[in-house]
Chains A and B, each alone.
Chain A
Amino acid sequence: MLIGVMQKFKAWHMSRQAMKRAWSDWDYLVLDIETSGLDPKQDNIVSLGWVCIHHGVIDLDSARHMLLEGAEISDNVGIHMITDADVELHGKKQQSVLRYLRHLLRKRVLVIHHAPMELGFLKSSWQQQGLASFSFNWLDTLAIERAKAHRAQQPIQEGGFRLGPCRARYALPDYQGHDALTDALATAELLLAQAAYQGKDCRLHDLNQLGGGRTRLVS
């Protein structure tokens, strides 16, 4: 019991110390999840897209786009451009995809645009699939953007925190597609821009203060 607490404290302390290093000393996994609806309890994950950041640059070789097998998507074809046939052909086992994700997240900070939603789906999937528990740090580019706007006392209009308008503020290009991979890449570029705007000595700690946290997924 005591040893467990000590270990937890040690882990916590190390992560606090590490936060003080430059943001680019860390590796990141930028994730976007497409779901069949908005409610993690009823709806499920259709696809996941991600790309990793290493040494402060986006490593395009790391890009992944995963369709999950058995995803019910018929109602949402219009949104995702994914068909039942795609799922049948490319669909992967949710459990193996999530295990792979967990493996990658061990050494990476998760980055999401609007974290609550995605984290909700990850939590419920973890429970459904009975995966091993683990904790990770995350950053939310939307929360970072909102905190920055708040600090600068710049009111941002309704809808101004969606991915597109956020990117436009950093002169990032307008991306047409909205599949999980495109949005993950779009979010990764946004994070690079946000970090660049924090100045030369931007630390993970700074980004974390603007919009980050630590979450534990349990089965």
Chain B
Amino acid sequence: MAAIDIPEVQKFIEATPPFLNLTLPQQKQLLTGVSMIYVRQGQRVMLQGESATVHLIRRGACEIRSPKGALVDQIADGECFGVSSAMVQNPDGLHVVALEDSLVYRFDKVRFMEMVEQNEAFGLFFEHTRHNRLRKLSRSQGEELTSPTSQLSTPISHIMTRQLILASPNDTVQAIAQRMTEARVSSILVVENERLLGIVTDRDLRSRVLALGVPSSLAVSDIMTRSPVSLLPDSLVMQAQTLMSESNIHHLPIVDEEQRAVGMLTAADLLRHQELSPLLLINQIHRQQSVESLAHVCKQWPTLIINLIVTDMKPADVGKVLATVSDNLTRRLIELALEKFGPAPMGFQFLVFGSQARQDQSLGSDQDNGLMLEREPTADESAYFSDFSQFVCEGLGLCGIRLCPGDIMASNPAWRMTEAGWKKAFSKWIKSGEPSALLHASIFFDIRCVYGEEEAIKGLIKGMQIEVSKNSVFLATLTRSALASKPPLGFFRHFLLESSGAHKHQLDLKHQGLALINDLARLYGLSCGTYRVGTLERLEQAIREKLMSVDTGRNLMDAWDELNALRLAAQRQHWQATGKASAYLDPKDLSSLERKHLKTTFSIISDAQDVAQQRFLKGYS
């Protein structure tokens, strides 16, 4: 009797390519020596010795991964792995991990290779499989950080914390509480002769010490959890996750075979590993000790943005989240700069302008920033702030916030001024009415303080507002400039007429749409009694102060949301396809309904521009 005579084996083989193309005698020959294995979810399949052969999944699912953990392929029922191991001794070190409990046929290597030699079509099938996986492998090796999804088969050692905070059993509760506070960790491992004895977490300190009124001079050994649940460092993330949720714990000590503590894995580490959340990215940002490591962490940023867009977060909220991340990144860089160059010789504020100030950043936004100094610096102090700013701006650049092409950055000495200096600059722009002054106005009038005492810039803003309100000529000039660009209403007619012609029309959603609304909002915002910096907030404020009708205001806010959603979606697509940010939209990608919608959106902007003209340009035009 042979394996192929077992009815269930025969049925499966006869339905599975390429085996179904073999004759019965060939099937019989190939299946001689075949065995069946069962692999539990999360287990790695051994591919050494007699197991270094082709496997066929009868039921289940597996992942093929590179030695670095990059995903090469995911396979399921009726698909094979171990092809590279059987045919060429697995030179790329691929390994296979069961994603689900899997029942697998393991072919006898000699019989398998016999069939590859004998049957050309059969051999080709597996050559193909192997080459496909090699291609995927080389593609996946391009990315340093693999996609955040399903990294369940990564070993814990890749993500655990190795800098351990340790206590010995005789330490007092108070001493370890201090150590935990200093190190900013929520748990501490108790070890004796390097062996793990127990663990104490924040929760334990609360429930076993504070809640019971136990004296803090007690020894740690009296309150710790003894022989806590632990794992070996080569266990998989998936196993850690299961264990932690089953045992309802958030801290998992990692020990080696001799029970020596080698790492710590927290629930936060797991989350951070799997899903990028803005909070976790911020958390990571604050833990980095160098620009290089910050830049590394920030490589996840585009993925984060894409994730936010994909999860259908409101565009305004996407902007706010990104602003929060970049604010925190900026602050962390400032902290690092202060560590590097020593404390600042005087108080200062780090100001951001433009999109970061308005909180509507997206992929590929560049930086606009400056410094406000407490007083005129001496030559030495000037040099200090020059180094300092250089460090921060370049750091931002390395972290993915592009350097400003117009050099509006703190690293440019022109944008490091005292409060009086800034006031003078604003005043000059408002009075001059030159085109360059207007350009500056559109950037600098959107202003926010991300580091330092916020009060100081309130005075600056107040002064600017008073000056603007007194100067109706400036407001008129600003209005004219805001109305100079018109939304591309003709675009649609054009598109409909010439869709097959030589003109390939693309829509710049930022400059032909969003920027127009931003300009209008700024115009109204500067006339408001209360200063707001975000576009939606400015429009809301303008409605509240009755500078704008509820209808116009609401319509503009909707239009802004609409365009931003389109822009983010277009950016996501473009980014995922090319790895570059672009806010261009190809109308071909829009349905006729979406085109109609977009046309309405542009009419709203156009109408609002007419209203603004009436309001600010009466008697000037």
**Does A143 sit at the interface, judged by CB under 8 A?**
no
Q: How far is the CA of A56 from the CA of B58 in the complex (A)?
A: 17
A65 touches which of B1, B8, B35 (Cβ 8 Å) = B1
Query: Whole-angstrom distance between the alpha carbons of A181 and B33 in the complex?
Result: 18
Asked if residues B8 and A175 are in contact (CB atoms below 8 Å), the reply is yes
Which single residue of chain B is at the shortest CB-CB distance from A188? B36
Residue A60, interface by CB 8 Å: yes
Bound together, the chains give a CA A61 to CA B36 distance in angstroms of 11
Distance, CA A26 to CA B553, complexed state (A): 79
Residue of B nearest to A56 (CB): B37
Partner of B7, one of A57, A58, A177, A188: A177
Tell me the bound Cα distance from A219 to B34 in angstroms: 37
Complex CA–CA separation, A62 to B492 (angstroms):
74
Within 8 A of A (CB), among B154-184: none
Q: Is B519's beta carbon under 8 Å from chain A?
A: no
A171 at the interface (CB under 8 A from B): yes
Interface segment, one of B98-106, B334-342, B495-503, B604-612: B98-106
Which of B5, B6, B7, B34 has the most chain A CB atoms inside 10 A of its CB? Answer: B6
| 8 Å CB contact of B3 from A54, A61, A175, A196 | A61
* Residue of B3, B34, B60 touching A171 (CB-CB under 8 A): B60
Residue pair A182, B34 in contact (C-beta under 8 Å): no
Residues in A whose Cβ lies below 8 Å from that of B100: 171
The answer, yes or no, to whether A217 is at the interface (CB within 8 Å) is no
A185 within 8 A of B: yes
Question: Looking across the interface, which residue of chain B has its beta carbon closest to that of A169?
Answer: B101
- Among B2, B37, B60, B106, residue most surrounded by chain A Cβ atoms (within 10 Å): B37
Main SS class of interface, B: mixed
Fill in one digit per residue for A107-135: 1 if any B CB lies within 8 Å of its CB, else 0.
Answer: 00000000000000000000000000000
Q: Is A179 an interface residue (CB 8 A)?
A: yes
User: Would you call A170 an interface residue if the criterion is a C-beta within 8 Å of the partner chain's C-beta atoms?
Assistant: yes
Is the beta-carbon distance between A173 and B58 smaller than 8 angstroms? yes
For residue A82, which residues in chain B have a CB less than 8 angstroms away from its CB? none
A188–B102 Cα distance when bound, in Å, is 14
Instruction: Tell me if A61 and B7 are in contact (CB < 8 A).
Output: no
Given the complex of chains A and B, what is the CA–CA distance between A54 and B8 in angstroms? 20
B133 at the interface (CB under 8 A from A): no
Contact with B along A177-219 (1 / 0, CB 8 A): 1010110010011001101110000000000000000000000
Give the interface size class of chain B. 20 to 34
Interface residue? B208 (CB, 8 A): no
Complex contacts, B60 vs chain A, CB 8 Å: 171
Q: Which of B5, B11, B38, B43 contacts A63 (CB 8 A)?
A: B5
Within 8 A of A (CB), among B1-39: 1-3, 5-9, 11, 31-39
Q: Are B6 and A182 in contact (CB under 8 A)?
A: yes
A177 neighbours in B (Cβ, 8 Å): 7-8
Q: Are A193 and B38 in contact (CB under 8 A)?
A: yes
Given A61-B32, A189-B36; A173-B59 close (CB under 8 Å): yes
Question: Which of B5, B6, B33, B59 is close to A172, meaning CB atoms less than 8 Å apart?
Answer: B59
Q: Which residue of B lies closest to A200 (CB)?
A: B43
A90-118 contact mask (Cβ, 8 Å, vs B): 1 or 0:
00000000000000000000000000000
Find out whether the CB atom of A173 lies under 8 angstroms from the CB atom of B103: yes
Tell me the smallest distance from the CB of A119 to a CB of chain B, in Å: 25
Residues of B within 8 A of A195 (CB): 38
Q: Is A17 in the interface zone, CB < 8 Å from B?
A: no
What's the minimum C-beta distance from A132 to chain B, rounded to whole angstroms?
A: 26
Chain A residues within 8 Å of B34, by CB: 60-61
Do B40 and A57 touch across chains, with their CB atoms under 8 A apart? Answer: no
Q: A57 with B6: in contact, given A171-B101, A173-B58 (CB under 8 Å)? A: no
Query: What chain B residues lie within 8 Å of A197 (beta carbons)?
Result: 40
Chain B residues numbered 37-72 whose CB sits less than 8 Å from any CB in chain A:
37-40, 43, 58-60
Q: Which of B139-164 contact A (CB under 8 A)?
A: none
- CB of A182 within 8 A of CB of B8, answer yes
A20 part of interface (Cβ distance < 8 Å): no
Q: A171-B100, A185-B8, A189-B38 are in contact. Are A61 and B2 (CB under 8 A)?
A: yes
Q: Give the distance to chain A from B86, nearest Cβ to Cβ, in Å.
A: 17
CB distance from A37 to the nearest CB of B (A): 24
Give, as a whole number of angstroms, the nearest-CB distance from A102 to chain B.
19
Say yes or no: A60-B3 contact (C-beta < 8 A), given A171-B59, A173-B58. yes
A59→B1 contact, CB < 8 A: no
Residue of B whose beta carbon sits closest to that of A189:
B103
Decide: B7 and A182 in contact? CB cutoff 8 A.
yes
Asked whether A57 and B101 contact (CB < 8 A) given A63-B1, A177-B7, A179-B7, the answer is: no
Q: Which residues does chain A contribute within 8 Å of B31, judged by CB atoms?
A: 60
Given contacts A61-B32, A61-B33, A63-B1, contact A192 B6 (CB under 8 A): no
Shortest C-beta distance, B13 to chain A (Å), equals: 11
Is A176 interfacial (CB-CB < 8 Å)?
A: yes
Is A64 an interface position by the 8 A CB rule?
Answer: yes
Residue in A59, A60, A65, A170 whose Cβ sees the most chain B Cβ within 10 Å: A60
Measured CB to CB, the residues of A under 8 A from B are 54, 56-61, 63-65, 170-173, 175-177, 179, 181-182, 185, 188-189, 192-193, 195-197
6 contacts between A and B (CB under 8 A): A57-B35, A57-B37, A57-B106, A173-B58, A179-B7, A189-B38
Closest 5 CB pairs of A and B: A60-B3, A192-B38, A58-B36, A57-B35, A173-B59
